Structure formats: structure tokens, C-alpha cells
Structure 1
Amino acid sequence: MHPKPLLLSLLLLPGALQAQQKPAPKKASVSTATFDPKKRPRNLSDEQLLDLVQRQTFRYFWDFGHPVSGMARERSNVAYDYGNEVVTTGGTGFGIMAIVVAADRKWITREQAATRLYKMVRWLEKADCYHGVFPHWLNGATGKVIKFGAKDDGGDIVETSFLMEGLICARQYFTADTPLERDLRNHIGWMWDNVEWNWQTQGGQNVLYWHWSPNNGWSMNHQIHGWNECLITYVLAASSPRYAIDKPVYDLGWATGPEFKNGKEYHGIKLPLGPDLGGPLFFTHYSFLGLNPHGLKDQHADYWAQNQNHTLINYQYCVNNPKRYKGYGPNSWGLTASDSYQGYAAHNPKEDLSVISPTAALSAFPYTPEQSMRALKHFYFDLGDKIWGEYGFVDGFSEEHNWQAKSYLAIDQGPIVGMIENYRTGLLWKLFMSSPDVQRGLGKLGFESAAVKK
């Protein structure tokens, strides 16, 4: 489940905090019969451990992808009373990037990867979408919209931006002059061209709106202001070849939120943007799977400093451990949205339920490599009997409550693969930032970057 809107998507799912996770029917459940975490390899170098974690996590998208559409399933278990056909638009975008990584590392062949992505794209062309904007959830067999909330049954521009982030990386990667890769690039290009980003300004306002529905129109009325995970939405909206927004939409919409500017220090670390103590760490992951924060600046912030400092504040909070939770410390840290013993929650220093989400520290490798490696080794070598599984690390755990999730979520597994790869090789950053459309959009919004032509 995507943490929407911003920190409290739970409000859209009545009873979500009390939701009990139920085993899925066999065709959608995680197979554990042949997987024994106690037999996991032990004598591994740091590089071998990173390889193993990326590859195992990638399997969520490859082995567990929906059999009809190839799309990423929302989660590995059934909860909140939705069925096992639910696939996620944004999580699929992250999964596409994981598949690109897998092809580049030769865990699968280039042709296998291109074939799977071509299947997804052709399926998406027939699925429900509204002004080129896809819903948050779709039925992976039929392509019909599945409601995310009472009125959330139409286009979701943020989820669509995560999908397009992945598709742009794929288009930049699959450049071979073969019929398959040519067709894949063409179909991605048409889909990208057809997203009506400017439609989401609700008639030309200087702000993007998150949702539009053919049944409910603009009634959700959720404007997208910063700072949060949605920077990529504004960047792609400015980058569109056909339906771009103008700079005032960024300046007067995104950059005016009540939690945009910060400038205060926490644990002696200055936070340029965002809510007090930074919020959950997915703010530093989702947009930056593709956007390279190195040298990325505009009038508001240096985005490398923003993301690194946010991560260090989150880390230091866990080390200080003001609530004295069992298990917190320099080798066990990372608060972000994930499942918890109470249901889904947007874990952060101001909403700390004692739950560590492995995706938080692992997707932070580019920002805090030493701290992330300590956490990875602890998660794998010390806690692996409980939290390592067929698709990598489970979604969350609490030593305080002796609880471990049984679940994996697409939006948490995907950033682990992609952000570790960006730490190791910068692959996804290079691909995404090489897009002429993205370069034009960043320049239009006033960003500085090595990728932006002067």
C-alpha cells in the first residue's frame, strides 16, 4: 500500500490499523515450503551479500509478478479486504527498475527482461486509465480499476509518476536495434506522451491535484504540496513532450506547502526541507530511484544534502532511542512506512511504534553506506532466521513486541533493489538522467545538475 496522502493514507482505509493479515489463496501467496532461512549462506563478503539481497528481493517482481499482466502485486498477502488480483501502478514502476537491474547484472537475460516489460506495457495500454493517468490499483487479470478509497477510483498522478519513472529508465536501457527492443521503446514512448499531466491542474491552477475520477471528478481535492515523496511528479509533469506544466505550477504549488521549508537542526543536523525530524525515509527513496540527487540543486535546496541529512536524522533518532525500545541501535535502525503489528503505519520519529522497516536502511545505501551496511549485516546474519525469506527481508519487525511481518510489499521491495544498485553503479540514475525529456523538465524548473544542459 502506498503511503497516501503523504503520511496518513491509513485514513482512506477504514480500520486499516486493526486490519489482520490473512493468508492469500495459493495462487497469490508466498511459497515458503521449500525455503528455509536457516540455510541461508553465511560466509559472504560485503559485495556477495549485496548481490544476494538484491537478487533475492528482485524475485518479488519476477517470480511473484502477476501471471496475466506481469505487473507487481501490491503485497504478498491479502489484507484490508481486497483480493489477490490487486496489482500496483507505482510498485510496478519500482519493479520495472528492479528488472532493468536484473538484466544488467545478468540474473536474467536481456531478452527475458524486455519480453516481460513488453507484456506489461501492452497490457497497460488496454487497462483503465483517465487522461493517460493510471489508477493506484488495477485488477491484474482484467485491467479494471480497483478502488483505493471511497472516491479514489480514477487516475492517480503520483502512482503514475512512479510508473513512468521506471518506464523511462527501461526506454533508456533497451536501446538495441532489434524488433523487440524497438517495439518496447515505441510503446513506452506513446504511453509517456499520452499522460495529461496538465489535466491534473484542475483547469489551469498553479498546483497539481493527486486524483481525478470519472465518477467523482475532483472531489478528493488533494493538492500536492511539498516536501514529501512527490518531487518526481512535478519533474515529470514539467518534462512531458505534449502535456507539460509550466514553472509557476512548481513554484506556487509544490514549493509552498506548510511542511516544505524547514531549516532547523535535529541531533545537530540541519534539515533544509520537510516536516519536523524529516518524516518517513521513503521521501528520500521514491523520487530518487531515478532522479540523481548528486549535484541536484535549485533555489530551495541541495537535494543530496537534503536526503543525506534526513537519513542521518532518522538514524540518529534510532541510535538515541528516546522510547527505549528493544533492538534499536547503530546496527538496527530505519523508520518508514510499512506494515506493523497494528496494521500499516507511516513510521517516522514522530510516529514510532517500535517497528524497524528493512527497506528504510537498505534503500539508504547511497546516503549512509556505512550505517546501512551495519544494518544489513545485522538483519541478515543476526535476525535472518526470523526476517529473511523467499523475497528478501520481510516488510517490518519489532523486537520490542517480538513481532515480524509475514508480508512483502512492492513499494518497499523495489527501492531496495534500485537504491542499492544506485549506490553500487549508479545505473538507474544514469539511465533516468540521460532522458532528454527529463533534462528539459529539470532545466525548465530551474534545477542545476550535471545532466542538465546549460
Structure 2
Amino acid sequence: MKRIIMSITLISLFTISCKNSQVPQKEIAKTQAVKNDITDQQLMDKVQKYALKYFWDYAEPNSLLGRERYHEDNIYPDNDKHVVTTGGSGFGLATVLVGVERGFIPRKEAVKRLTTMMDFLAKADRHKGAWSHWINGETGKTVPFGKKDNGGDLVETAFLTSGILMVREYFKNGNAEEKALAKKCDDLWKGIQWNWYTKGGEKVLYWHWSPDYQWEMNFPLQGYNECLITYILAASSPTYPIDAETYYKGWTRNGTYLSDKTKYGLPLYVKHNGAEEYGGPLFWAHYSYIGLDPTNLSDKLIKNYFDLNKNQVLIDYKYCVENPKQWAGYGPNYWGLTASYSRNSDGSVGYDAHFPQNDRGVITPTAALSSFPYTPKESMDFLRFLYTQKPEFIGSAGPYDANSINYDNWTTPRYLAIDQGTIAPMIENYRTGFLWKLFMNAPEIQQGLKKLSFQSPKYGIK
């Protein structure tokens, strides 16, 4: 799902308006609560393993990439099983790597699957090297996300590319089959024309370009939101790079995106687009940081990206504990606001970007679960509560996308790739730093970060 980014107008880009009473239900297997004596490590294993199912068991059948959505209640015929989501597939690649590393899936089978994915991406429609937001998994053709959004989507491409680079790094020193896979990944990465998306050399990146509508979408990527990784990758490209000036003039708005505001005594550090009081939806602390390690990461303007992200999550947490709207259930073990499926006022299922200034009483599990690196205790409290007290909020691929205790334990038995896909990777980064190490040690990323005056002592970037 494309998130509401530039100014958070909170106009849903994707809405489902089916009354719950009209949804054709199938019998959904009930999940049993786990026992209270389950260990923290067992709980993390469990949620990681089941999140992997989304990308392993429910993958698009031909490309084997992540499909946009999977609905256990069959609200869509075949769950749109041939609509591949580019960004969600990038998170899915990271999830598959976690599965291999943890022994959830066989390495050899993963290599075979990943090779199929890379071969598909090589043949799929590309727009100056970038992929579209949605792709038909059978044909490789662009599926328009909107009338004019029928070309390259640089942000979704960045999320996908982050995963591709981690796959390359993981397998590049392996056997012949693994090295061949790594080579395919490298070729895909080098074919992306990042600098094309400066619209003829403007000192800012643009989100979209269409062969039919050119630059009519007109979304410059300016911080702060979830798009940082797009600039990191563009600066790191060995073939079509941007310069440092584009980063500082474009992304940081000439440094004017800095903020001196605090909430609950916690500095925000930056102006979150359209959400300057509390910070934006929590996916802003997740998407760019699947591979990019924020730990002691700095640039000319931000002293520590980890503190920036941690404070955003803690503000969200403290808001839910304060619970100014008095939603039933909100508290230390039930929190987390981000973009996801939502409950409309008439009881139908919609989609919304939840954050404190747009709090609708809906909690999204990926918000707390993908925040493990920043708030391990608070995230574990949520995870434990969910699995021991609220099994009705959990399905075949882990926690359902959204729920609400306030609305009589409402949930929607549905999954979105871009939400489910950050859970296993971010938990793994908390546990071992596995994906962070892969991405941060990639030679081009090291050079790109240095070009932008980033420092990360942990990885020798000074």
C-alpha cells in the first residue's frame, strides 16, 4: 500500500467499502492463545516464523514475489493473487533471508525461489530502471496504482532495492548457484536510473515518472517521512547516482526540516510532514531502516538517527498510554498507530494512516512489533499480550493487519504485504542486527553514506 506521505492529507489512497455484514465469510480457523510461560525468545521465533508465511505460503504463484494483500475472509476473488507489490516484496526478500538464517526454510530452496524472483524482475516493465508500484505477477506488466500512477515509483523501487542488495550480500560468497543469484541482484541494482528522477537535474528526487504522463504526479521527496532510504540508494548507485547537494537541498529542505519541538519531554528532532506535534505513523521509523542501521548514525544535521526513531516510537507509545480519547483497551500492552486497514464509522473496512493526530481507536500490530529495536520492553509487552490474551487477533500468517478492543474486539482477517513484511526483519535487527550488517557493509552503501557526510562508527563510516 502506498502510504500518505508528502503532507499527510489522510485521504485514503485505497479504500474498501464493504459492510462487515455483507462480507462473504468462509470458516476461519481459530487461533489458540499461547501459555503465559512461553519465553520471550519463543514468542519472537513464533511471530517471525508466521510472518514469513505471508511471503512463502501466500506468494504470488508465478513470480513468487509478495502479493499486495491476502484475505482469509475471501473478500476479493482469489485475493488479487496476481497483483505484486514492489515495496512489500522488498520487505519480503528481507523476511525470506531471516527465514533462512533462522532455519525456518531450507537455504537451497530459498535460493531457487529468489532466483525466480530476480528473473521475473529482470523481465518486468521498468521505467528508466524503476519498477511500478504494482506489477502483474503473470505478465510482468505495470498495474496502474492510479490513472497517472502508471510508471516508475522510485520509493517503492527503493524498498525493493534494499531487499535486493541484502540478498546479494548474503549469497555473494556462496556456491555457484548462490553467486549466480547475487550477480542477478547486482545487475538489477545497476539498472536503476536514480538521477533521472531529479526531473532534469533539479536538486530533489521525485516519486513518480510515467511514460504517458511524465512528471504530472509531481511529488518531490522531501523530509521527513519514510523516504530517506531512497536518497541513500540514489547516492550509492555506481551507475546513475545523485550528488550530496540533491540530498541536502531536496530531502532536508535546505536544513529547514529540523525541529526544536518536544512531546512528553522527548525531542522530535525533525518536522514530520503534516504531523509535527507528535510525529507521523510509525512506519516512518521502519521502512527506511530494514537495512539502514540507525544506531549512532549521523549526518550533517542529525546527530543520531536511532534517537530520532526511538523518540517517535516512544511518543506514540506514551500517547496511547495517556489515551486522551479514552479508547477501551489502550495502555502499556496495547498500543501502536500506523497506516493499515481501518474501521470506518459505519463499521465497514477502510484504510487509513493512523497516528496520534488521526487516532481512530484502531491498533496495528506491525507498529509495535516492528519497533522492537527502539522499544524492546514495550514491544514485547504488546507481543505477549496479543498472543496470550487476544488470539482472535491472530491468523494463519501472524497478527491480522488491524484490530480494536474498543469496537467489541473488532478485527479484519486480512493481511497487507507492506505491514506484515517489516515484522520479521525489524525483530531480527533487534535480536542480532543481521540485516543491518548485510546492508551497511555493502561497498556501494559505504561510499554513498560517506558522500552524504554520514557517519557510522560501527561500520567504519567516518
**TM-score with structure 1 setting the length:** 0.94
Structure-2 residue corresponding to 1:350:
357
State the alpha-carbon separation in 2 of the partners of residues 9 and 236 from structure 1: 27
- Quickly say closer, same or farther: Cα 1:38–1:360, change in 2 above 3 A: same
State the alpha-carbon separation in 1 of the partners of residues 113 and 209 from structure 2: 30
Structure-2 residue corresponding to 1:70:
64
| More deviation, 305-314/399-408 | 399-408
State the alpha-carbon separation in 2 of the partners of residues 258 and 249 from structure 1: 12
1:117-138: CA deviation from partner (whole Å, max 9, x where unpaired): 1100000111111111000001
1:357–1:395 Cα contact (<8 Å) kept: yes
- Quickly say closer, same or farther: Cα 1:102–1:348, change in 2 above 3 A: same
State the alpha-carbon separation in 1 of the partners of residues 16 and 7 from structure 2: 14
Deviation at 1:52, TM superposition (A): 0.6
Deviation at 1:398, TM superposition (A): 1.2
State the alpha-carbon separation in 2 of the partners of residues 19 and 206 from structure 1: 43
Please state if 1:299 is matched with 2:296.
no
Please state whether the residue corresponding to 1:340 is helix, strand or coil: strand
Structure-1 residue corresponding to 2:45:
51
Structure-2 residue corresponding to 1:437:
444
Structure 1 residue runs of 5 or longer lacking an equivalent are none
Please state if 1:159 is matched with 2:156.
yes
Deviation at 1:21, TM superposition (A): 8.0
Structure-2 residue corresponding to 1:286:
287
Letter paired with 1:157: L
Structure-1 residue corresponding to 2:329:
327
State the alpha-carbon separation in 2 of the partners of residues 170 and 21 from structure 1: 40
- Quickly say closer, same or farther: Cα 1:298–1:19, change in 2 above 3 A: farther
Specify which of 312, 315, 327 is matched with residue 313 of structure 1: 315
Specify which of 104, 129, 132 is matched with residue 126 of structure 2: 129
2:31–2:395 Cα contact (<8 Å) kept: yes
- Quickly say closer, same or farther: Cα 1:439–1:412, change in 2 above 3 A: same
Structure-1 residue corresponding to 2:381:
374
Specify which of 104, 108, 113 is matched with residue 110 of structure 2: 113
State the alpha-carbon separation in 1 of the partners of residues 290 and 92 from structure 2: 11
State the alpha-carbon separation in 1 of the partners of residues 437 and 127 from structure 2: 31
Specify which of 342, 359, 364 is matched with residue 371 of structure 2: 364
Letter paired with 1:339: Y
The percentage of aligned residue pairs carrying the same residue is 46
State the alpha-carbon separation in 1 of the partners of residues 154 and 20 from structure 2: 28
State the alpha-carbon separation in 2 of the partners of residues 166 and 178 from structure 1: 20
State the alpha-carbon separation in 1 of the partners of residues 64 and 173 from structure 2: 22
Please state whether the residue corresponding to 2:351 is helix, strand or coil: strand
State the alpha-carbon separation in 2 of the partners of residues 87 and 9 from structure 1: 26
Specify which of 262, 265, 268 is matched with residue 262 of structure 2: 265
- Quickly say closer, same or farther: Cα 1:233–1:85, change in 2 above 3 A: same
1:20–1:79 Cα contact (<8 Å) kept: no
- Quickly say closer, same or farther: Cα 1:223–1:453, change in 2 above 3 A: same
Structure-1 residue corresponding to 2:403:
397
1:12–1:149 Cα contact (<8 Å) kept: no
Please state whether the residue corresponding to 1:350 is helix, strand or coil: helix
Deviation at 1:258, TM superposition (A): 10
State the alpha-carbon separation in 2 of the partners of residues 300 and 396 from structure 1: 35
1:328-387: CA deviation from partner (whole Å, max 9, x where unpaired): 001100000010112110000010000000000010100001111111111111111x11
- Quickly say closer, same or farther: Cα 1:12–1:345, change in 2 above 3 A: closer
- Quickly say closer, same or farther: Cα 1:4–1:265, change in 2 above 3 A: closer
- Quickly say closer, same or farther: Cα 1:381–1:425, change in 2 above 3 A: same
1:2–1:9 Cα contact (<8 Å) kept: no
- Quickly say closer, same or farther: Cα 1:374–1:12, change in 2 above 3 A: closer
| More deviation, 325-334/257-266 | 257-266
Structure-2 residue corresponding to 1:2:
2
State the alpha-carbon separation in 2 of the partners of residues 22 and 146 from structure 1: 30
- Quickly say closer, same or farther: Cα 1:13–1:265, change in 2 above 3 A: closer
| More deviation, 232-241/137-146 | 137-146
Deviation at 1:140, TM superposition (A): 1.1
Letter paired with 1:325: W
Deviation at 1:268, TM superposition (A): 1.2
Deviation at 1:10, TM superposition (A): 6.2
2:33–2:390 Cα contact (<8 Å) kept: no
Q: How many residues align?
A: 447
**Aligned positions of 1:23-34 closer than 5 A:** none
Structure-1 residue corresponding to 2:347:
none
Letter paired with 1:404: T
**TM-score with structure 2 setting the length:** 0.92
| More deviation, 177-186/124-133 | 177-186
Specify which of 145, 148, 157 is matched with residue 145 of structure 2: 148
Deviation at 1:84, TM superposition (A): 3.4
| More deviation, 354-363/403-412 | 403-412
Please state if 1:201 is matched with 2:198.
yes
| More deviation, 3-12/69-78 | 3-12
- Quickly say closer, same or farther: Cα 1:257–1:251, change in 2 above 3 A: closer
Structure-1 residue corresponding to 2:432:
425
- Quickly say closer, same or farther: Cα 1:130–1:448, change in 2 above 3 A: same
Structure-2 residue corresponding to 1:388:
394
Deviation at 1:276, TM superposition (A): 2.1
State the alpha-carbon separation in 1 of the partners of residues 338 and 171 from structure 2: 32
1:60-109: CA deviation from partner (whole Å, max 9, x where unpaired): 00000111000101111377999432110000000000000000011111
Letter paired with 2:89: T
2:290–2:436 Cα contact (<8 Å) kept: yes
1:175-234: CA deviation from partner (whole Å, max 9, x where unpaired): 344221111111100100010000000000000000000111001111010000000000
State the alpha-carbon separation in 1 of the partners of residues 152 and 258 from structure 2: 29
Deviation at 1:400, TM superposition (A): 1.5
- Quickly say closer, same or farther: Cα 1:161–1:75, change in 2 above 3 A: same
State the alpha-carbon separation in 2 of the partners of residues 420 and 284 from structure 1: 13
1:133–1:196 Cα contact (<8 Å) kept: yes
State the alpha-carbon separation in 2 of the partners of residues 250 and 229 from structure 1: 14
Structure 2 residue runs of 5 or longer lacking an equivalent are 345-349
